[in-house]
Chains A and B, each alone.
Chain A
Amino acid sequence: MTYVVVGAGPSGVVAAETLRKADPSVDVVLIGDEPEPPYSRMAIPYYLTGKVDETGTYLRKTDGHYDTKGIRYLEGRVASVDADAGKVALEDGSSQDYSKLLICTGASPIKPPVEGLDSPGVHHCWTLEDARQIIGVAHEGADVVLIGAGFIACIILEALVERGVNLTVVEMEDRMLPRMMDETGGEMIKRWCEKKGVSVQTGVRVTKVQYSDGAGDGHLAVDLDNGSQLPANLVVVAAGVASNTGFLGGSGVKVEDGIVVDNRLMSSVDGIYAAGDCAQGPDFSTGGWSVHAIQPTAVDHARVAALNMVGQDAPYRGSLVMNVLDTMGLVSVSYGAWEGVDEGEQSVVVDEEGFKYLRLEFLGDHIVGALSLGRTEHVGVLRGLIQNRTPLGEWKTILMANPQRYMEAYVDHSQ
């Protein structure tokens, strides 16, 4: 038996380890397409600030980790999958047979249809190589334009500020973090950024990036649809990501927003599984199928997929979307159905001056979603409350009056 895992991000690595641990008899092959040992994109911002070196981003720190675990690591990029033959073809012309296949190819940044984004000095911030390029240009005093103010943009934002650049953020939607924060939260983060010296332009599109060859880092001019132009030494594009599924053409694997998988993380093709950012799996909150491109889901997917691959019965109850973001010291968290649900109720407390915000969404007597800004204590318990569908009983009334007491509600229930 040969289990092949394609993609060496967090879900690929955890899946390979789980496969190995669950069934010591099989061959486990992990295929990664970057030259570095498997690393975490989550850690890239900390690499940008110098808080960790490149090795600090590695998913596993011990030398020879994969050899020791009996995981064969293969560097290469998969070009196609032949499901009938049980074979993946790599771009270098070689191929790898599999008994069962797990696709953990993650996602890639989207390049919006804007003229000039191929110019020198325009980068994504996705891979270690991107980060190296950015470090080369983002010196103190450099003019930097960040296109996009979503989750990925915001985790890079702080790193860029720490490097001392003059930063302007341009977001085409009407607020920062449109998919993680409501208007109140997005506005609060925007105000916070502006207070910290970052210029944030929301509801503005970049129409063109022009490059003129000059000395040093080069010169860029970023045209905006409001008629203004921003000079830049560096443009970072963080306008969203899309699942990496292009190589599945002709494989028979059903792809929508990502690879559609069932509650065992298996795709439409028997023996082919998917996990992580490329998988469109059961969604805990909606009961439908969603791509949740987040670290905890990547890891959960990986474990469940691996266990099912080795023949255990491991049903998956769905991923709960959750995000945590530190924007220059302002920590924001979102969970589940934070936008609320039909027939749901809402409890909110806002302290605009103190940069604190909490929004709980209820359905009946349990919590289905939450947004929080400016607090770090015990936030995880919101996950517990949501995923347990903890019946709140008398705490419902208390939380409707003051949502901040969620931790007490939890402790009171659990003890």
Chain B
Amino acid sequence: MQKSLNIDPEKCTGCLQCELACSYDNEGVFNPSKSRIKVFKFEDAGRFVPYTCTQCDEAWCMQACPVDAISLDTTTGAKVVSDTLCVGCKVCTIACPFGTVNYNSSTGKVIKCDLCEGEPACATACPTAAITYVDANWTGLDKMRAWAEKTDAGTQVSA
């Protein structure tokens, strides 16, 4: 069974170690602004929510890419951006209804979570197990996906 990232906001303390690990793994430096996972802080409620790509089946980003630069990693299920093919047109960034594909102006390419080839650095770095990489049918991301189905423009029948 493919694993997926399971996010439990209740356990998150907002420390951003996930963002540090993600940016280090992908960029070689510590730079939360380039992290593929983001922690949202709900100041007034005292709530922290890590948030990243669910690798959704609809793959809006992959479908929308005009140059075939996003492909499916069949081992992990991740939708992966090819830096050599991406031209930086940003269509995927507006097509993804989760806002989890972002443009990196310093490289002129888009970035998104690729599950680190099956060893997500964010999950390893999380000190409170708010982010885990697990075999699970009903993960936090599944909940997001369920919610995502409502985001449908009519293409809910999968090809």
Do A and B share a direct contact in the complex (Cβ within 8 angstroms)? yes
Number of contact residues on B: which range applies?
Answer: 35 or more
B102 touches A304 (CB 8 A): no
B91 touches A387 (CB 8 A): no
Given A46-B89, A319-B153, A411-B51, CB of A380 within 8 Å of CB of B159:
no
**Least distance between A394 CB and chain B CB atoms (Å):** 10
- Distance, CA A60 to CA B67, complexed state (A): 7
Chain A window 305-343, contacts with chain B (Cβ cutoff 8 Å), 1 for yes, 0 for no = 011000011111111101110100101010100000000
On chain B, the residues within 8 Å of A414 by CB distance are: 98, 143-144, 147
A388 touches B151 (CB 8 A): yes
Chain B window 89-100, contacts with chain A (Cβ cutoff 8 Å), 1 for yes, 0 for no = 111111111111
Q: Does B72 sit within 8 A of A, measured CB to CB?
A: no
Chain A window 194-214, contacts with chain B (Cβ cutoff 8 Å), 1 for yes, 0 for no = 000000000000000000000
Pick from A43, A320, A408, A411: contact of B153, CB under 8 Å? A320
A411 touches B94 (CB 8 A): no
B94 touches A380 (CB 8 A): yes
Q: Does A247 sit within 8 A of B, measured CB to CB?
A: no
A387 touches B151 (CB 8 A): yes
On chain A, the residues within 8 Å of B127 by CB distance are: none
Pick from A263, A304, A411: contact of B40, CB under 8 Å? A411
Q: Does A407 sit within 8 A of B, measured CB to CB?
A: yes
**Least distance between B22 CB and chain A CB atoms (Å):** 15
Q: Count of chain A residues with Cβ under 8 Å from any Cβ of B?
A: 64
Chain A window 264-302, contacts with chain B (Cβ cutoff 8 Å), 1 for yes, 0 for no = 000000000000000000001000000000011001100
A299 touches B105 (CB 8 A): no
B153 touches A380 (CB 8 A): no
Q: Which of A49-57, A85-93, A100-108 forms contacts with chain B?
A: A49-57
B159 touches A18 (CB 8 A): yes
A380 touches B154 (CB 8 A): no
- Distance, CA A41 to CA B51, complexed state (A): 33
B151 touches A296 (CB 8 A): no
On chain B, the residues within 8 Å of A296 by CB distance are: 60, 63-64, 91, 94-95
Which interface residue of A388, A408, A415 has the most chain B CB atoms within 10 A?
A415
Chain B window 49-71, contacts with chain A (Cβ cutoff 8 Å), 1 for yes, 0 for no = 10100000000100110111000
Given A43-B66, A304-B154, CB of A380 within 8 Å of CB of B87:
no
- Distance, CA A384 to CA B67, complexed state (A): 23
On chain A, the residues within 8 Å of B88 by CB distance are: 46, 51, 326
B93 touches A379 (CB 8 A): yes
- Distance, CA A314 to CA B159, complexed state (A): 10
Q: Does A185 sit within 8 A of B, measured CB to CB?
A: no
Given A46-B87, A296-B94, CB of A40 within 8 Å of CB of B66:
yes
On chain A, the residues within 8 Å of B153 by CB distance are: 284, 300, 316-320, 387
Query: A306: nearest residue on chain B (CB-CB)?
Result: B159
- Distance, CA A326 to CA B89, complexed state (A): 8
On chain B, the residues within 8 Å of A304 by CB distance are: 154-155
- Distance, CA A411 to CA B150, complexed state (A): 15
**Least distance between A253 CB and chain B CB atoms (Å):** 22
Pick from A295, A315, A384, A412: contact of B66, CB under 8 Å? A295
**Least distance between B87 CB and chain A CB atoms (Å):** 4
Q: Apart from A61-B67, A296-B91, A318-B154, what are 15 other A-B pairs with CB-CB below 8 Å?
A: A10-B66, A42-B67, A46-B89, A303-B63, A304-B155, A315-B154, A320-B153, A333-B94, A376-B90, A380-B93, A384-B97, A408-B40, A410-B99, A415-B7, A415-B140
Sample (25) of A-B pairs whose CB atoms are under 8 Å apart? A40-B67, A43-B67, A61-B68, A284-B153, A295-B66, A300-B153, A303-B159, A304-B155, A312-B157, A313-B157, A314-B155, A317-B153, A318-B154, A324-B91, A324-B94, A331-B103, A333-B94, A377-B102, A380-B96, A387-B152, A388-B150, A411-B40, A411-B51, A414-B143, A415-B49
Interface residues of A (CB under 8 A from B): 10, 14, 18, 21-22, 40-43, 46, 51-52, 56-61, 263, 284, 295-296, 299-300, 303-304, 306-307, 312-320, 322-324, 326, 329, 331, 333, 335, 376-384, 387-388, 407-408, 410-415
Interface residues of B (CB under 8 A from A): 7, 9, 38, 40, 42, 49, 51, 60, 63-64, 66-68, 85, 87-103, 105, 108, 140, 143-144, 147-148, 150-157, 159
